[in-house]
A and B are shown apart, each in its own frame.
Chain A
Amino acid sequence: MIVAERKPFEEIKSLLEPYQKVLTVGCGTCVAVCLAGGEKEVGILNAELKIARKLEGKPIETGAITVERQCDMEFLEELDSMVDQYDALLSMACGAGIQFLAERFPEKPVFPAVDTSFIGVNRDVGWYEEKCRACGSCVLGLTAGICPVTMCAKSLFNGPCGGTNKQSCEINVNQPCAWYRIHERLSKQGRLKNIMEIHPPNDWRNQAPRTIIQPGYEERLKAFNGK
């Protein structure tokens, strides 16, 4: 899932300074799961804003709604009848959701309340680790299920750099060397030959804005013109 963290309160407050009526929009999927932008966090953020603005003598009115997903237009529909009452929208979704919200309501200023951090896993309540950089060309089948793009600080494709240090990465002793772990796991599985050949570099030109039409849906897209 996508993992995000709440922006520092001071930053959110300064973004909203000119506005008196703000609708805070939570997202009930990834950011709810990672405890950054679900219904609970919407309520907490609104309370913080009200307390701070009251103390400053510039009270703020807040609205609260949490939609299923801000990255689907249909779920944003329910906001249509509400946004007119507000000066600005504050989204607690990931960067994708925020942009879709802004696209739906182009006349309203939309602000982010979270910083989108990474695609990762949930180790325990409130504890997340990055696992994927969305490179667009997965090599996990070769690398024993350990991503060299994400887990190696240099995103190397062909073995460790000179900084590998007794199983750790040179950036931090607590960061395992991805290539050490790839070697260990492959060797346990008897699959070391997987990494004996040089793997060509990824085509990083793919990092330009990407669109995917799933196979089988090209015809649909043409027929309905994406509507």
Chain B
Amino acid sequence: MSQPNTTDMQKIETASNVLVLGGGLAGICTAEAIAAQGYPVLLVEPGEAVGLKAESRPLNSYSQSEKDTLNKLVEQVRSSENIEILEKTTLSCATGVAGDYRVWLSGQKPLSEKQVGAIVVASELIRNPLNAAYGLEIGGPVITQTDLEHALASETKKFTGKTVAFVVGFGQSGNPLVMERVLRSALELAQIEGTTVYVYVNDLKVAAEELERLYLKARDNGVLFFKLSQAPVIETQENGISITYSDPVILRDISAQADFLVIEEAMEADSANAHLACLLRLDLGSEGFMQTDNVHRYPVSTNREGIFVVGGSRQVKALDQACMDAENAALQVRRLLGDGTRLAPANKAVLDIGKCTFCLTCYRCCPHGAIYWSTENKPVISLIACQGCGICASECPMDAIQIGEFSDKAIHDQVQKSMANTGKAPNIVAFCCQNSAQEAAQMAADFGIALPEGLHLIQVPCAGKIDLDYILNAFVQGADGVLVMACHPRNCKSEHGNTYARWRVNDAQNRLSKAGLDKARLSFVTLASNMGSEFARIVTEFETWLRDL
């Protein structure tokens, strides 16, 4: 096989329009920011209308001036020539890859197919009242934060001369967005004639812009905060609510009465995210958000190139943060779609269709959804979406996929060459992920730490590219020991590369045992790129162990 020229670039045309899923404020801001870059936007909202109605936070939790600003933004988006709005519409199906997604939308109009270059998901959060955590039912004097916000917008007289108590931070650890709503309402209540406001709070989450000031203002206006480590005991009575708590200062149980009790609400990921993530082949992260914790990615990126997540799709976000996400998404869209053409290395992942047996293994294993089936019923690896991790190539039963400079032949040759002129020291082949172990090895070398004489480093793009037969062949070629050095768990740039590597090492160890070799001659270790001395320690100890055999 001829060595591909790494500088060969392939020109790829990309669709220029962008699908934004979700018409709440995060979606509106995103549509506006992307349209401002000159890309046509299709803004899709499952609910009645885009704008404040589609927003997860109750409209009434915003001030009048904020509402005015937001309404203006909605109007701007509605009148933009570059933005097409589809309401009461949902995504039914999505195929393709970055630069060329095909999506099917259903709603008011019959199912329609669209081609888009990129997709931005702007799910809203959902509100979940946590009355169960306090053993209470909603009703009568027990109201939710949302109920309160609605009441404050329409019937403030209801609270004149009354005592209102909030409980927050006992049913959840909470976050600044939850706290902001509580603080705003408490302040508003405190400004009503003769109203008494108590806030029973666990941790005051004020780590967001203006929140500390809002807290102080609420206090200055007479809101009484009780910072407790345990939830107060609450009982509903005929004429209101009784609240008993252990006061942390005077160390005594105190009882108070209130006319209304406001139950905290969690702001959570929408459960509909799971279905959407499945349609878009996105990894669902913790707590149902559409993004895993991956330190290698930009904030709005996902496991799939060309699909971005903003606002409530990825975290509990206040509006200003969601707007920042929107700007980031617009930059990512511009980076991806550019002027409609992209250049990508032609040898990033090359599929030999003659060898391919259409087993779907690559399609199923690709963590980036970069492999799709063409209309000719053939697998195609998108050079834009492919991240070059090589998991597909290592899993392919026909060795039909070769990854850039990390072809099977190149790796076999390197291993063979490293074994050619070896001395008496044990031969160690260390397959190193270039994102971690290779860097750590470089660091060890730069620091002048002594490394074993017989250590041979084989760089791979990701531990997911370490084939089972690379490992076994290293032993055939004469290695005394083999190290598979991957990123730490859940720290893989390609999500599962280190996991595949670990599975293969387990498999290889079983095979080595059955062949009669001590399976400890093969070892799987994880490292971070800044662990130079740890790298040196591991390889040195391994060498010592091999010498002692």
Residues of A that sit less than 8 Å from B by CB:
8-10, 28-29, 32-35, 38-41, 43-44, 47-52, 54-56, 66, 122, 124-125
Contacts and interface: CB of A to CB of B under 8 A. Distances in A.
Given A28-B357, A33-B357, A52-B516, A44 B511 contact: yes
Contacts of B254: none
Question: 8 closest Cβ contacts across the A-B interface?
Answer: A38-B397, A47-B472, A52-B515, A33-B359, A43-B469, A51-B515, A9-B514, A32-B357
A51 B476 contact: yes
A35 B469 contact: no
B475 A47 contact: yes
A48 B357 contact: no
Contact of A125 (B364, B476, B517): B364
B348 to A, nearest CB: 21
A40 B360 CA distance: 15
Nearest to B514: A9
19 contacts: A8-B514, A28-B398, A29-B357, A33-B397, A35-B361, A38-B357, A38-B397, A39-B355, A39-B397, A39-B399, A40-B397, A40-B467, A43-B399, A48-B511, A48-B515, A51-B472, A51-B516, A54-B476, A55-B515
Contacts of A56: 516
A69 to B, nearest CB: 10
A10 B511 CA distance: 10
Nearest to A8: B514
Contacts of A48: 472, 511, 514-515
A39 B398 contact: yes
Contacts of A52: 514-516
A44 B517 CA distance: 15
Contacts, number: 78
Given A28-B355, A47-B475, A47-B476, A125 B516 contact: no
Given A33-B359, A50-B476, A44 B468 contact: yes
A26 to B, nearest CB: 9
Nearest to A47: B472
Interface centre among B365, B512, B515, B516 (most CB of A within 10 A): B515
Nearest to B510: A9
A54 B197 CA distance: 83
A4 to B, nearest CB: 12
Interface centre among A10, A32, A52 (most CB of B within 10 A): A32
B263 to A, nearest CB: 43
A101 B50 CA distance: 67
B518 to A, nearest CB: 10
B337 interface: no
A125 B395 contact: yes
A48 B473 CA distance: 9
B326 interface: no
A38 B395 CA distance: 11
A48 B237 CA distance: 77
Contacts of B358: 33
B472 A40 contact: no
A45 to B, nearest CB: 9
A125 B514 contact: no
Contact of A55 (B396, B398, B516): B516
A9 B472 contact: no
B397 A41 contact: yes
Nearest to B362: A125
Nearest to B357: A32
Given A40-B399, A124-B364, A51 B512 contact: yes
B164 to A, nearest CB: 54
A122 B364 CA distance: 11
Contacts of B516: 51-52, 55-56
Contacts of B515: 9, 48-49, 51-52, 55
B398 A32 contact: yes
Contacts of A38: 357, 397-398
A124 B361 CA distance: 8
B364 A43 contact: no
A55 B521 CA distance: 14
B473 A47 contact: yes
Contacts of B475: 47, 51
A47 to B, nearest CB: 4
A52 B361 CA distance: 29
Interface centre among B396, B398, B512 (most CB of A within 10 A): B398
Interface centre among B357, B468, B514 (most CB of A within 10 A): B357
Contacts of B364: 124-125
A192 B176 CA distance: 59
A122 B360 contact: yes
B468 A32 contact: no
Contacts of A33: 357-359, 397
A28 B476 CA distance: 25
Nearest to B396: A40
A127 to B, nearest CB: 10
Contacts of B511: 9, 44, 48
Nearest to A28: B357
Given A28-B355, A39-B355, 10 more contacts: A28-B357, A28-B398, A39-B397, A40-B397, A48-B472, A51-B472, A51-B475, A52-B515, A55-B515, A125-B361
Contacts of A29: 357
Contacts of A51: 472, 475-476, 512, 515-517
A48 B517 CA distance: 10
Interface string B371-389: 0000000000000000000
Contacts of A8: 514
A120 B397 CA distance: 18
A176 B435 CA distance: 46
Contacts of B396: 40
B393 to A, nearest CB: 10
Interface in B490-533: 511-512, 514-517
B399 A32 contact: no
B365 A125 contact: yes
B517 A55 contact: yes
Interface string B208-228: 000000000000000000000
